[in-house]
């Protein structure tokens, strides 16, 4: 028996008279298939987008397997009708069913996530084609059109291009979203955005400069008017509590206020093997976590004086290879495989948290809270400790999920086949919801940034940059299968 099975009806005098009931029976099974792939109420009137929203954000393979089984169960309950027009209609339905089944198998077991996204979008397109074939078959057997479920029109992503003083769209060779700012890297300058319309430019002189100063190679230099910063290789003697001295590799940071004619006394940063200092040249500050072999230290840099003070940290060795999250207000969070530490340079306080054990995933933070999102869990940490809960919000396997905190709301976003899926977690209430906005399939989601308590998406289109305020109203509850 084929996908549109042929079950003979013995003794039928006029086979064509049996066709309306057979079409109705097939239609009931088809509505069940649509509900599986699209939901009882599709999330969009665009079936491609509705299928993406239904099957990809939930990341549940069982759902696609269930839908595939329903497609395989689509069968015709009659034999040949003897009517050429009716048989032509059944042929198109059968052909569409076979195509849908083939695409479902790719979507369920695609070699890559991008292949799955492409297959899922095509599933939606073929569902629309099979809808048309089914409605045509109904008309051929004398039945009225079937009122198949449709979704609402998906609102487009509200974007605007970032423009310069001349009103022309700014272009960028690369874009960063970092610590509440958007950095547009151009050939000879960096445009720093600190709000939807707030921006200023920094002229960059030789990010990697082959010139030397005082016999040492300059590794990094930044020019902002007549003020300059440079970083060079150096050496440093470190003395521990008992006075023992040890020579270590270091970085020397110097400031000039007269266009490089004279340089202030350098500040040194230990750069032990395998440990790289975090140097934030926008704020002219740095954080460094390192070990002298027996103890772990934190070295923060004062923004004004460029002076630093070693502060011991009670932290495991994994922190030395930690990831780093700078928060507004100057605080930073460092996390390794089994520890999390909040470092506050303004108060010189260290808050070690040892019940943090979430490997992988991605994270965001503010001055008082650190949030890490993994495959199906969400960990929220404060200075008092961490709490891990199951989460429906999940990561794009290609690492394109972006996060930001907007007050008590964790905002995550990812582009899936022309849909910007925005998932919202109320950290106080523990509830999850989602928004879906239409986007160009060529758009690239660079990141999320929060300005004045409002989350914005930073989207790249070619070399142009768009900033979109994320509308948090109208979100729908997030369930296991949307």
Residue 93 domain flag: yes
Please compute the mean of the pLDDT values over residues 382-403 and round it to a whole number.
76
Out of 27-31, 135-139, 150-154, 393-397, pick the least confident.
Answer: 393-397
Tally Cβ neighbours within 10 Å of residue 224.
Answer: 18
Q: Does 147 score more than 80 pLDDT?
A: yes
Count of domains forming the chain: 3
Calculate the alpha carbon distances from 299 to 317, 345, 353, 395 in Å: 16, 9, 19, 33
This model's pTM is above 0.85: no
- The pLDDT value recorded for residue 291 is 67
Residue 314: its pLDDT value, please? 73
Rounded to whole angstroms, the Cα distance separating 88 from 423 reads 45
Q: Judge if 114 and 227 occupy the same domain.
A: no
For the cut 90, the answer to whether the pLDDT of residue 132 exceeds it is: yes
* The two three-digit tokens of residue 141, written as one number: 């057997």
Q: Specify whether the CB–CB gap between 154 and 84 falls below 8 A.
A: no
User: Could you list the residue range(s) of the whole structural domain that residue 267 is in?
Assistant: 210-322
Residues 251, 164 share a domain: no
Do 133 and 166 lie in one domain? The reply is no
Q: Is 352 contained in some domain?
A: no
165 and 128 inside one domain = no
Looking at residues 165-177, what average pLDDT do you find? 86
Whether 205 is in a domain gets the answer no
Identify whether residues 216 and 306 lie together within a single domain: yes
**13-54 pLDDT, tens per residue?**
566 678 999 999 999 999 999 998 888 888 788 888 788 777
Residues 133 and 222 in one domain: no
Q: What is the DSSP letter of 248?
A: E
Q: What is the pLDDT of residue 461?
A: 84
Q: Note whether 162 and 128 are same-domain residues.
A: no
> Do residues 255 and 309 both lie within one domain?
yes
Angle, helices 47-55/61-72, rounded to nearest 10 degrees:
130
Rounded to whole angstroms, the Cα distance separating 191 from 113 reads 34
pLDDT for the residue numbered 142: 93
Q: What is the pLDDT of residue 253?
A: 73
How confident is the model at residue 276, as a pLDDT? 53
Q: How far apart are the first and last CA of the chain?
A: 34
Least confident segment among 47-61, 96-110, 273-287, 446-460: 273-287
Asked if residues 49 and 419 have their Cβ atoms less than 8 Å apart, the reply is yes
Of the residues 273, 304, 322, the one at which a domain ends:
322
* 94 and 170 fall within a common domain: no
Mean residue pLDDT across the chain: 76
**Three-state secondary structure of 312-358:** EECCCHHHHHCEEEECCCCCEEEECCCCEEEEECCCCEEEEECCCCC
Share of the chain above pLDDT 70, in %: 66
Residue 24 CB partners (closer than 8 Å, separation 6+)? 143
Q: What is the pLDDT of residues 431-448, one digit of tens each?
A: 888 777 777 777 888 999
pLDDT at 103: 82
Among 55, 15, 18, residue whose Cα is nearest residue 35: 55
Specify the higher pLDDT residue, 265 or 482: 265
């Amino acid at each position: 028996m084929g996908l549109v099975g042929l079950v003979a009806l013995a003794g039928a005098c006029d086979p064509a008279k049996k066709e309306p009931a057979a079409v109705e029976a097939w239609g009931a099974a088809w509505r069940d298939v649509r509900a599986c792939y699209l939901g009882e109420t599709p999330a969009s009137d665009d079936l491609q987008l509705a299928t993406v929203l239904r099957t990809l954000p939930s990341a549940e393979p069982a759902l696609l397997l269930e839908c595939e089984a329903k497609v395989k169960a689509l069968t015709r309950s009659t034999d040949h009708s003897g009517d050429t027009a009716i048989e032509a209609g059944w042929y198109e339905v059968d052909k569409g069913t076979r195509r849908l089944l083939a695409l479902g198998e790719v979507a369920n077991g695609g070699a890559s996530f991008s292949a799955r996204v492409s297959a899922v979008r095509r599933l939606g397109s073929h569902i629309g084609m099979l809808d048309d074939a089914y409605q045509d078959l109904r008309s051929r057997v004398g039945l009225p059109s079937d009122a198949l479920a449709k979704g609402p029109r998906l609102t487009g992503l509200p974007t605007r291009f970032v423009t310069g003083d001349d009103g022309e769209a700014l272009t960028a060779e690369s874009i960063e979203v970092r610590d509440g700012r958007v950095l547009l890297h151009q050939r000879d300058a960096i445009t720093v955005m600190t709000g939807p319309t707030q921006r200023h430019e920094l002229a960059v002189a030789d990010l990697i400069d082959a010139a030397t100063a005082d016999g040492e190679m300059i590794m990094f230099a930044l020019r902002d008017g007549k003020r300059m910063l440079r970083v060079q290789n150096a050496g440093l003697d470190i003395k521990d509590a008992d006075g023992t001295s040890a020579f270590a590799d270091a970085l020397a940071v110097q400031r000039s206020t007269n266009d490089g004619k004279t340089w202030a006394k350098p500040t040194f940063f230990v750069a032990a093997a395998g440990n790289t200092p975090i140097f934030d040249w926008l704020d002219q500050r740095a954080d460094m976590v390192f070990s002298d072999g027996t103890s772990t230290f934190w070295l923060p840099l004062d923004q004004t004086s460029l002076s630093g003070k070693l502060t011991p940290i009670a932290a495991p060795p994994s922190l030395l290879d930690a990831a780093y999250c700078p928060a507004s207000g100057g605080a930073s969070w460092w996390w390794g495989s089994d520890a999390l530490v909040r470092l506050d340079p303004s108060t010189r306080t260290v808050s070690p948290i040892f019940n943090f054990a979430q490997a992988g995933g991605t994270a965001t933070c503010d001055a008082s809270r650190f949030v890490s999102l993994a495959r199906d869990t969400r960990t929220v940490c404060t200075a008092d400790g961490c709490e891990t809960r199951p989460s429906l919000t999940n990561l794009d396997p290609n690492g394109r999920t972006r996060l930001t905190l907007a007050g008590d709301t964790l905002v995550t976003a990812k582009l899936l086949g022309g849909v910007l899926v925005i998932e919202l977690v109320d950290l106080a209430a523990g509830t999850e919801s989602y928004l879906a906005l239409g986007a160009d399939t060529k758009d690239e989601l660079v990141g999320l940034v929060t300005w004045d308590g409002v989350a914005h998406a930073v989207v790249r289109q070619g070399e142009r940059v768009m900033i979109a305020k994320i509308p948090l109203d109208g979100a729908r509850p997030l369930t296991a299968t949307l």
